[in-house]
Amino acid sequence: MSHTDNSLNTATGELPAGRPLQSTFDDGLDYPRLGSVSFRRGTLTSGQATLWEEHWPQLGRILADERIDVAAWFGRSGHPTIVEIGSGTGTSTAAMAPLEPETNIIAVELYKPGLAKLLGAVVRNGITNIRMVRGDGVEVLNRMFEPESLDGIRVFFPDPWPKARHHKRRIIQSGTLRLFASRLRPGGVLHVATDHAEYAEWISELIHVEPHLEWMGWPWDECPQLTDRQVITKFEGKGLDKNHVITEFLWRKKP
């Protein structure tokens, strides 16, 4: 792994120029290849930019080759931690977090305007248990979190990449399931939801592929975590408008 000084970027939330960090996994499993997708840009409104300058340095970080000290970042120890990959504009993140105040929520997203929107909701509503990381969720999990350190991982409405030649970009693959399992503590929960029928089929074929994850089905009444997103998010809403069915997947990390 290469080591770069990201302290400047972390303060501004800009991803460094050049090739994004991309790990090589030598386990023969499939991992998403993001290519140029990781360079997604977007502009902030001037209000968002002001808010970003003031609050991002405390509440946000960018992908870096360093483990996150979760207790120090949240200013409390002994609390469960959930990472959400691809939080988008953070609508469900901001709706769920106040209902799980004892849990540390870390939202990971590439898209800066999405994070800015979530940051706005966090500040306006005085939500204290959300932090954000800007970067590719696969790299963030691999580089910034210790094995068996997370109580939950959420992936809500991941990009479906419907064209066959783009399927390799899908985030749910045998390798990412292995990575998710490695970052979860025994008993930790992986929750994935999609409104894309064909992606649901793709995921269904992978539910038993990772030996460290136990498929729990849906619903799982005794699930130790909040599974209700509380709101219909932008993407979920779009799916519902087209009468799409939402398929939910829950796994538990084996002891």
Q: Which residues bind ligand SAM (CB under 6 A)?
A: 34, 40, 85-88, 91-92, 108-111, 114, 136-138, 156-159, 171, 233-236
- CB-wise, 52 or 157, nearer to ligand SAM? 157
Quote the least distance from Cβ 25 to ligand SAM, whole Å: 14
- Using alpha carbons only, how large is the chain's radius of gyration in Å? 17
241 is in an annotated binding site: no
Say if residue 89 carries a ligand binding annotation. Answer: no
Query: Per the residue annotation, which of 151, 159, 228, 241 is the catalytic one?
Result: 159
Active site residue 159: yes
Bridge partners of 253, per DSSP, are: 213
Min. distance of Cβ 226 from ligand SAM in angstroms?
15
Give 114 or 152: the residue with its C-beta nearer to ligand SAM.
114
85 in Cβ contact with 107 (< 8 Å): no
Burial 202-232 (b: 16+ CB within 10 A, else e): bbeebbeebebbbbbeeebeeeebbbebeee
User: Is 195 annotated as belonging to a binding site?
Assistant: yes
Residue 109 in marked binding region: yes
The residues, any chain, with a CB within 8 Å of residue 174's CB and separated by 6 or more, are 29, 30, 206, 209, 210
Q: Tell me if 63 sits within 8 A of 136, measured CB to CB.
A: yes
The smaller minimum CB distance to ligand SAM, of residues 72 and 97, is found at 97
Binding-site entries for substrate: 163, 195, 233-236
Active-site residue list: 159
